[in-house]
Amino acid sequence: MVLTLADELQAQGHTCHIICFKRFQELRSKQVVPNHIFPLEFLRWLPRSIRGPLVAPLLDRFIRLKIGIPDLVLSNLLPADRILSHSKLPNVQLVVHNTLSQELLVSAKPDKQHELRAMLASIYALKPCICVSRGVLEDLQALLPTQKQAVCIYNPVDLDLIATSAQEPNPIKLPEYFIHVGKFKQAKRHDRLLRAYALSAIKTPLVLVGQGELLASSQALAEELGISERVMFAGFHSNPYPLMAGAKGLLLASDFEGLGLVILEALALKVPVISTDCPSGPNEILPAANLIATDDLASFADKLRALDQNPNAFQVELNPEFAPRHAAQQYLAQTTPHKL
C-alpha cells in the first residue's frame, strides 16, 4: 500500500519519502522514491510505555534533516504509530490497517483488556487517523469514542504491477485449483477453510500459499479430515500473482480483515472470490452472493460447490475507488492547506 500510494503521488508530480525502521531489500517502486532508515534498533531497549514520547523528538529531527517539513506525514503500523503519535511535526496522521478491537483486544487476556484499551487510546486518540475501510473506521470509533478526527480511505491496488507480475511462470502445474493466500495465523482461520472444503467434497484441489505459526496444525488437520491428497501447502511466495492468476477461485475464511487486499488483487486478475462476511473489508468489496456467514460451515461448503460448478457466476468487477489515482486524491485532501 505504501509503495503503491507513493508511486502514484510521485507520478502526479509530488515528492514522497519513505522512512523505515530497518532495511528492506524488497522496497521496489516504479518511481524513484527516496527511502531513509531511522535506526530504531538502537533504541528498542527503551520500555514501550515510554518509547513514544522519548523517541518522537529524535524521529522528528531525523525527518527535518533528511526531508524538511513535510505537508503530510503518514504513520503505518503500531511501532511507528507508538512514536509518531507524539510527534510535533505538523499534519501527522496514523493509518489504521485493521480492526483494533479484534486484532489486539481479542487476543489479550481478560485481566489485560483495560490496560490494552488504555494503551490504544494513548496512541490513536492523539492524532487524526486514516482507516483503510469503513469497518475499521467504525471499529475505531466504537473502541475510542473520543477519536473525532478519523476518515476512511481505501487501500489502493496497483493494477499494472499485478498484471505484470502475474505474467511470470506459475509453479503450480495443476489443471485447476482453488487458492488461499495468507499467513497461517488465527485470524485467517485455515481450520474453518479446511473443514468447509472437506464438507464440500469437491475434487478441485486447494492450494494454500503462506507460512506461519499454525502451518503444522493446519497440515495435521488436513490429514485428520482425509483431504491431504487434495490440499497443497505451497509455502511462501514473494510473488503470488502467477499462482492467483491461474486459480479457479480465491477463498477467504477470516475472522476479521482490515480491508482484504488479497480480494482486490484477485479481482484485478479476474479471479472470482468467495469470503466469510467478517466485520470489515470483504462486504465493502464483494456482493452478498459472494459472502458467507462467518461460522456457517454448511453454507461455506454450499458456496464452494457453487463456485466449483460455475465460477463465472462469482465474477466481480473491481470498483474504481480502489484505484491508486482515487486514493492519491483523497490523501492529497488531507495535506495542510497552506502547503499545497
Domain boundaries, the chain: 2-156+323-339, 159-319
**CA separation for the pair 4, 1 (Å, rounded):** 5
For domain 2-156+323-339, say whether CATH 3.40.50.2000 is its number. yes
Name the H helices within the chain: 2-11, 48-66, 78-84, 100, 113-124, 134-143, 159-165, 190-200, 215-224, 241-245, 261-268, 282-285, 297-309, 324-332
The three cell numbers of residue 87 are 510527534
The three cell numbers of residue 255 are 475472522
Q: State residue 115's pLDDT score.
A: 83
Identify the CA nearest to 160 among candidates 318, 4, 338: 4
Q: State residue 338's pLDDT score.
A: 42
- Which residues of the chain are modeled with pLDDT < 70? 24-31, 105-108, 336-340
CB within 8 Å of 67: residues ≥ 6 apart: 17, 36
Q: State residue 29's pLDDT score.
A: 59
Phi-psi region of 212 (alpha: psi -120 to 50; beta: other; left: phi over 0): left
Asked if domains 2-156+323-339 and 159-319 share a fold, the reply is yes
Q: Which helix (H) or strand (E) holds 93?
A: strand 92-96
The three cell numbers of residue 320 are 474504481
Which CATH number does the domain 159-319 belong to among 3.65.10.10, 3.40.50.40, 3.40.50.150, 3.40.50.2000? 3.40.50.2000
**CA separation for the pair 154, 117 (Å, rounded):** 25
> Do the beta carbons of residue 227 and residue 162 sit within 8 Å?
no
